Structure 1
Amino acid sequence: MDASDESLARAAAQGDRAAFAALLDRIYDPLFRLAFRLTGSRAEAEDLVQDICCTLPGKLAGFRGQARLTTWLYRIAVNAAHDRRRRFASHARAADGWGEWELDRRAAEAEDAERLDWLRLAMDALTPPELRDTLVLMLEGLSHAEIGAVLGVSEGTVSWRLSEARKKLRAMKEAVL
């Protein structure tokens, strides 16, 4: 086709698929070069040109022919690149705090896991076993009376065992520090 870019654009705007295909053949490479210069990245330029080409059929109806088609398309490309940069910057700002939040969450999880590991080891080392049994029941939320009933001992004995377990755990913790 020897038609001008502008006549191909008008025909494509009217639904002529062959004219649209011929127009894309002519404008794709120059549009890609501009997009590459605007973005600095081959992948970004490819995405940008693809976005422009996908929206081009609808935009061609707005082409009035007051400027050359390439000038009009370059303006579309520059605007699309600006929009893309703003969108990415907005997403980056929205995601900015999440990375720090995730790091804090993981640090807290690691700290909790470390505490639980220490408690597990300390509980295993807690002797006599009656102290461990009493402490476990207390950690389960049972009252002194309920613990006494489960273990078959008085509430006073439960209180004494819990006191002894705390002392031994405290001593173990101080030994580690």
Structure 2
Amino acid sequence: MDVSDETLARAAADGDRQAFAALVGRVYDRVYAYAYRVTGSKADAEDLAQDICAALPVKLKGWRGEARVTTWLYRITVNAARDRFRRQASFARAADGWGDWELARRAEAAETAERVDWLHAAMTALNRDLRETLALVLDGVSHGEAASILGISEGTVSWRISEAKKRLRAIRAAEAEETKA
């Protein structure tokens, strides 16, 4: 004997798990197909169909039986799709302007990375003493701590940092002249 969708829906609303599984088995493909036609996206259609089926036990308790179950499910699918479109539109409006911010953030990060890369490459042109001292200070070590680590006076650390800066500026200037030529 073939059981109607409506009979399965009533039984599922009363907590019959087998009736619920049978109902979902019957209607899932229709809900998915309709959601796909409405959204135009397989991923969105899958999400909608799964969300609807997950919410179906609670929704079935509100089904009054005035319409066929499939008609009622189409209405739920329409509403779910509309809700999804509204959320996507709200998200797009909220995200509007953040794209420019994100582009600026990425450009700044790229510029910082470029500077760091340049500094690492330029430091190879420094002699070992200047490079070691500068590396410590760039790592946040104070001049006093650097002096203790390197076994030199704090004044020597300060001189080395000053000298390293002069040489790095000279390297930058030479590179700028090369790009002009």
Contact 1:134/1:158 (<8 A) preserved: no
Write the deviation string for residues 54-103 of structure 1: whole angstroms up to 9, x where unpaired.
21121111111222322211111111112223334445555666666555
Contact 2:124/2:131 (<8 A) preserved: no
What is the root-mean-square deviation of aligned Cα atoms in Å? 4.0
Q: TM-score, normalised by structure 2?
A: 0.65
Return 5+ residue gaps in structure 2 as ranges. Answer: 177-181
Written as runs of structure 1 = structure 2, the 5 A alignment for 1:25-104 is: 25-91=25-91, 104=104
User: C-alpha distance in 1, partners of 2:143/2:5?
Assistant: 84
User: C-alpha distance in 2, partners of 1:169/1:113?
Assistant: 17
Return 5+ residue gaps in structure 1 as ranges. Answer: none
Write the deviation string for residues 19-63 of structure 1: whole angstroms up to 9, x where unpaired.
333433432333222112112123322332222122112111111
Q: Which moved more, 1:96-105 or 1:16-25?
A: 96-105
Q: TM-score, normalised by structure 1?
A: 0.66
Change in CA separation of 1:125 and 1:87 when aligned onto 2, cut-off 3 Å: same
| Equivalent position amino acid for 2:170 in 1 | A
Q: Which moved more, 1:134-143 or 1:13-22?
A: 134-143
| Equivalent position amino acid for 1:34 in 2 | Y
Change in CA separation of 1:13 and 1:174 when aligned onto 2, cut-off 3 Å: same
In the alignment of these two chains, the number of paired residues is: 169
Change in CA separation of 1:126 and 1:83 when aligned onto 2, cut-off 3 Å: same
* Equivalence for 1:176: 175
SS at match of 1:61: helix
User: C-alpha distance in 1, partners of 2:78/2:90?
Assistant: 18
* Structure with bigger gyration radius: 1
